[in-house]
Amino acid sequence: MTDPRSSARTIRPGTSLASRLMIGQLIVLCAGAVSITALTVMIGPAVFHYHLLQTALPVGSAEILHIERAYRDALALALGVGLVVSLLAAGLVTWRLARRLRQTLHRLTLAVDELSRGHYSTRVPALGAGTELDSLAATLNDMAARLDAVEENRRRLLSDLAHELRTPIATLSAHHEAMADGVIEPEAAKPILAGQTVRLSRLADDISEVSRAEEGQLPVELRPTSVRDLLDSTLQEWEERFEAAGVALRRGFVMRRSPIIHADPDRLAQVLGNLLSNALRHTSPGGTVTLSATMEGGTVVISVADDGEGFTAEDRSRLFERFFRADSARTREDSGSGIGLTISRALVDAHGGTMSAASEGPGQGATFTIRLPRAPADR
């Protein structure tokens, strides 16, 4: 299959845009010069001769002939010099503009070519060639920055995957060597091998799940859903786990009338479960986690707040990235797979809502907020 990038770079050579622009300008200038000359030659002498006849000089006299010859010579000299000077000046200006346009387009072409080769750090310098071209350069720079960010995320994802795979693979390899050397019996190694195999299988499922979520391919069945019923069922499901961990789970909403949203209750329950699991994991025994809901106009605001570890401002920008864990010292078993928040935000986006996180710093707790639009009929 032909590479579209290589075919784009092997364009048939032809006249450049700047050359065409200059040729067009010269044609217009020459047409204008011919028109001015023709009109001046046809109209000027006739008008001058008519006015001469209005004088007291006899018709056909030597004086009239001499005056008309002088007029024609002066007109020809002035017109010729004027046309030459104007054509040279206009040609010079057109050449300068065409040359500058050629240089600008060449710089843009080089930048696009570098981007097509995968050099996403390339940026188009300030052109100063007009609003339109400056706007195009700014758009290219913005596109390059986005591509650079995507490439950085791809590299980070591969690094994270390698890190996640390294431990179970090393464990499996070590135990297989130990069994081959007779250091450990197969029956003793069987539980460890099975556990690491399950871990690899779970990692594969996590990768598939987060990819589907970010591509918007997770099925979401929207229907009228009561916010109060959703939160009550979530609290009921998680109360025992929080009680067993010694963390208080509190209700922070009192609603006279429950708002209705168009949502998939199972998917939103998954989102709230991810947030509560995350809060429980980062809150010490004796701490408190609060699930609350309020209404702001046509928006339902659901939040999960804890008084646990919190996070830094630097971590905040990466909380929703795949496989990111704020505490790098934690293991996968201690801190989860690192994709729960990524999937949660994708599910909230699929509901037409937004998800954000806030913390005043390490040790100051964290708050995750979901904003969902109320159903039009409920408004």
Rounded to two decimals, what is the model's pTM?
0.53
pLDDT for the residue 37: 77
* Structure token digits, residue 189: 């190694």
Q: Which residues of the chain have pLDDT under 50?
A: 1-12, 328-335
Name residue 370's beta-bridge partners: 302, 355
Spatial separation of the C-alpha atoms in residues 106 and 114, rounded to whole Å: 12
pLDDT, tens only, 223-252 = 899 998 899 899 998 999 999 999 999 988
What pLDDT is stored for residue 323 in this prediction?
Answer: 61
What is 223-373's CATH number, 3.30.450.20, 3.40.50.1000, 3.40.50.80, 3.30.565.10?
A: 3.30.565.10
Residue 55: count of CB within 10 angstroms of its CB: 10
Residues 101-124: tens digit of each pLDDT: 777 777 777 888 877 787 777 777
Q: What is the pLDDT of residue 329?
A: 42
pLDDT at residue 328, rounded to an integer: 45
CB atoms within 10 A of CB 3: 8
Per DSSP bridges, beta strands 299-306 and 366-373 are antiparallel
Which pairs with CB-CB distance under 8 Å and at least 24 residues apart come from 103-108? Answer: 104/129, 104/133, 105/16, 105/17, 105/18, 108/133, 108/136, 108/137, 108/140
Distance separating alpha carbons of residues 257 and 228, to the nearest angstrom: 9
69-73: list long-range contacts, CB under 8 Å, 24+ apart.
Answer: 71/44, 71/45, 72/45
Q: Which of 363, 361, 318 is nearest to 338 (CA)?
A: 318
The per-residue DSSP string of 210-274 comes to HHHHHTT-S----EEEEHHHHHHHHHHHHHHHHHHHT-EEEE----SS--EEEE-HHHHHHHHHH
Q: What's the pLDDT at 370?
A: 94
Q: In this predicted structure, what is the pLDDT of residue 38? A: 80
- Fold assignment, 144-214: Helix Hairpins (1.10.287)
Tell me what pLDDT residue 347 has: 87
